[in-house]
Amino acid sequence: MTATPGSEPAKDARTGPFLLGIDYGTESCRVAIFDVTGRVVSFASTGYPTSYPHQGWAEQQVDDWYRALIESSHVALARSGLGAGDIAGIGYGATSATLVALDGAHRPVRPAMMWLDVRASEQAGRAPRALEAMARPGRARGVPASAEMFPFKLAWLKEHEPEVYRRAAHLLDAPDWLGHRLTGELRVNENSASVKMYHDRTIGGFPQDFYASIGSADALEKFPQRVQPLGTPLGQLTASAAADLGLRPGTPVAEGCIDAYAGQIGLNVLTPGRMALITGSSHALLGQAPLSVADSGMLGTFADAVIPGQCTVEATLVSSGSSLRWFRDTFAPDLVEAAERQGSVAYDLLNEASSGIAPGSEGLVVVPYFQGTRNPFPDSRARAVVWGLSFGHTRAHVYHAVQESICYAVAHNLRYMADNGYRVESLVACGGATRSAQWMQMHADVTGLPITLTEVQDAVSLGACIMAATVAGAYASLTEAADAMVRPVSTIEPDQRRHDDYAYFVDSYIRTYPALRDLQHDMSEHLASGLAG
């Protein structure tokens, strides 16, 4: 369990009322307390493990999540010096397309299938034909047909674990499990519904024909029956949840959302022109556009996902920070040990070793599709590629090339958006990548866009508290709350010369996946047949 060091202001600088935000990420449950002006009061984080039973699978235990929430809530409250009655509202974000199956007594019947779990490749392969057959294709086409998406996991569960599927009375996305655990209410948050479940009000909600075509029609009967916009009042904290968390029963709880979208709110990217860059285990690009963009056919457009009457444009890199973590743990365990002795982190040592390497890493290109790819083309069978290696390359070169690959993927998605009429003028960034000035400068140089940093880098937690502020009555709307609680502090400008140098390598990166796609699909089928045998 950790807290953000040096981030808690003096008690006399705080302005009530106070708000509690919950962030269920891939690796930990983070609880934050902010005051109504957006000043941080306290943080606490408690981790939980992920299991990988087979290639492409990823699972977590729901009970581990709740234990982590209890621990983080008590520590954050204790560090704040506040009492339970000082918390005026609660908001939350969590990983999405994370399938939680509960029985009639609301107990989990299997481990949660995590968002990065891509076992449902076969089921996702049915989606293109199913979308073509929809009575009104419309906006639902904007949802990537990736194996990680919620409907395909439902179909996989029904086909491969039929007894578990039968016992499951409720099939929930992780944010909706948390909302139920806090309030007792069963809802589908419209953010998850639009982005991960093909829900669209203009086509009648959930497209039943589509769900039937991929093999999960009756799953809709196991969904909560009400879809609710994020940030609106969900309910009140139950007595049992309050006792567990050390909070006050009856505290208002806001309808939550996907963690990355809470980060978008926490960066105040709620109007067109700017785009949020949420960094962590994955990278997410999120921005707002007129509702008409959702009708364009561009992949990654979602009507009403954040602001009713607007379209949200998204592109996600499935593996970004997790790619660097894999490299560190696999190829630099000595630096991990050295960093621990020095009181630093291994990434700082790797950054120092690679700081003088020129753009393009001397002809080394990495494509970071360790768990497949979602944008700008969904392919759960794609895998990471490293090419251009020579005896002259060192560990530092490979690390540098992995960093560059993530920036190339961001640039690729921005090009795709521009080709489809959606142009981004600047980025607003948060998350783990912002701790590396070198890597953030690389993001700016590769994309050619200025990147703004805000005062509170834990934007997901702040976004959760912005939603909490609206249900607490401190502000009349999300946009009003975000304007008041989010403050920019600096901007990283791109180096035009380096941007020009990077153009060739971005082109080379973009050409790699199409050149190897068929070969990778053959390998995927070979491995799958071996697993089946």
Chain segment 61-75, per-residue pLDDT in tens: 999 999 999 999 999
Cα separation, 78 vs 84, whole angstroms = 10
pLDDT at position 54 over 70: yes
Give me the mean pLDDT over the 71-80 stretch. Answer: 98
Instruction: Determine if the pTM surpasses 0.75.
Output: yes
Whether 484 and 37 have beta carbons less than 8 Å apart is answered as yes
For the chain, list the domains and their CATH numbers: 317-421+492-532 (3.30.420.40)
Q: How far is CA 194 from CA 26, 172, 229, 265, 317, in A?
A: 21, 14, 10, 17, 19
- Supply the pLDDT for residue 55: 86
Q: Which of 515, 522, 252, 283 is nearest to 408 (CA)?
A: 283
The whole-angstrom distance between residue 416's C-alpha and the CA centroid of its chain comes to 20
Longest C-alpha distance within the chain, in Å?
66
pLDDT higher than threshold 60 for residue 2? no
Which spans in 228-320 are helix H?
239-245, 259-266
Residue 531 has a pLDDT of 62
Q: What is the mean pLDDT of residues 107-124?
A: 94
Residue 301 is inside which H or E element, if any? strand 301-303
Burial class (CB in 10 A: 0-12, 13-18, 19+), 528: middle
Instruction: For the chain, give percent helix, strand, coil, nearest 5.
Output: 45, 20, 35
**What is the arithmetic mean of pLDDT over 79-87?**
97
103-134: string of b/e by CB count within 10 Å (b at 16+)? eeeeebbbbbbbbbbbbbbbbbebbeebbeeb
Per-residue pLDDT band at 132 (split at 50, 70, 90):
low
- Three-class DSSP category at 176: helix
User: What average pLDDT does range 31-59 have in this prediction?
Assistant: 96
In this predicted structure, what is the pLDDT of residue 143?
74
Mean pLDDT of all residues in 473-492: 97
CA distance 69 to 438: 34
Residue 304 has pLDDT above 50, yes or no: yes
Radius of gyration of the chain (CA): 22
Average pLDDT of the segment spanning 109-120: 95
pLDDT at 8: 53
Side chain identity at 474, as an amino acid letter? Answer: A
At 201, list the tokens.
């009000």
**Residues 311-336 pLDDT 10s:** 999 999 999 999 999 999 999 999 99
Residue carrying structure tokens 């974000």: 93
* Higher pLDDT among residues 395 and 297, named by residue: 395
Residue 533: the pLDDT is 54
Encode pLDDT of 139-166 as tens digits.
Answer: 555 677 888 899 999 999 999 999 999 9
CA–CA dist 131, 241 (Å, integer): 41
pLDDT tens across 400-424, in order?
Answer: 999 999 999 999 999 999 999 899 9
Q: Are 297 and 316 in contact (CB under 8 A)?
A: no
Give the pLDDT mean for 366-391.
93
Which whole number is the average pLDDT over 502-521? 97
410, containing H or E segment: helix 395-419
Most confident among 286-300, 377-391, 493-507 (mean pLDDT): 493-507
pLDDT value at 135 more than 50: no
| The pLDDT of residue 291 | 87
